[in-house]
Structure 1
C-alpha cells in the first residue's frame, strides 16, 4: 500500500474531489459531511497490492474511486467465494456494524484509487442521518442480488452454461453497458474466469474459443466485449 500518488501541490484539490465523490455515493450534499473531510484519506494501490486482510481490525471502509478489485471471502474449511468490483463501490460494506471482520482479502486487479472513511464515523453517520443509512441499505441489497446471481450461476451443472452465466454476472458487476454489448475492461483473463467458474482452465479456454467463433465474445486487447 502506498500513499495516494498525487503531487503534494494538488493534494488538497484532489482530496476535495474525492470527498465530493464520496458524498455523491452516499447521495447527500457534501456539506452534510464537510466537517469530517480531514478524517478521510486517499490511497493508491498498484496492481496486485492488497487493500485489506481479514486479520486486520477494520478501522476504515474504502470507496473505490477508480480501478478494479478482487474480494475473496473464506470459511473455516478453506473454501473461498470470489467477487469482482469496479469503481463506485464501498468495501467492505458488509462489515458495517460488525465488531469482528469475516475472513476475507481484497486485492487490486488494476491500478486503484480509494478514499477511506473511518468505519466508526460511517456507522455514526448512518445512525444520525437516515438518508445515508437508506442509501447504503439499498446498495447492500444490490450487492446481495449480484452475489445471488453468481451463486446461482455456480449451481449450473453444464460447463458451458456455467461459464456463460458467470461471464454475464461479470458483465453486470464490472462491465459497462454499451447498448448491444457489455465491455469488461482490462481485468478479465481465462484463468480468472476459470477460477470464478470452478471449471478447469483448459475447459474454460475451449468454451471461450467457441463463444468467439459464434461472435458472442470479442477480445479487443485486454478488453472483452460480450454480446447481449
Structure 2
C-alpha cells in the first residue's frame, strides 16, 4: 500500500514517512498543495494524508480539485483546527476521515487501517482477486481458486502483484510501476520491472492460474484476469 503525506511542516512530514515505512507502507511526501495535487493525480497512491493549512493551495482546495476530477483515493485530513465547521467542511468535500493535531501515531495507523478496509471494494477479507488469481494481503501468498497450489511472494513481487491486480485490465507503464514499487526518488532502472514481471509470471504458472501479464510494446504491462 502506498501513502502520500501532504504536510508543509518538514519535521512532521518526515516523522510520518518514517513511521509509515516502519509499518511496511510505501510513503512519499509533498510540502505544499500544488505539489500534493500533482502527485495525487499521478494515480500512484492508495491513500492520502492531507494537511489543511498548506502553502499555494490549502488542503480543502486540493480535496475539492481531486473530487472534481472524480478521483476516489481515500483522504484523511490532518489539521490543528478542531471546530465542527472545519470537520463538516472537509467531510462534505469528500474526506474519508479527520484527525486533529496533535495525534498519537497508533491512532493514525488505526485510522489508516479503518479507511483502507472501508475502501477495499475488490477485496474479500484480506484477499485481492482477479479472475482465478488470489493475493493474500496479510501473508503475501499468491494462489489460484481452481487448485490448492500457493506460493509466497517477496516484498517487491508482492507490491508489483498488488498494483497489477488493483488495476487489472488496464495498461500500466514501466514508469508508473517503477514509481509505485520503488518510489519517486529511486535509482531503479526500467529493466527492474521486466525482471520482477518475469518472476511473477513464473509464480503464476506454478499456481496454474489462467490470468496472465501481457507486455504492451513500448509502454508497459497489463494483467489480463481471464476466466474465473
Q: TM tier, shorter chain?
A: 0.3 to 0.5
Higher relative contact order (CA 8 A, sep 6+): 1
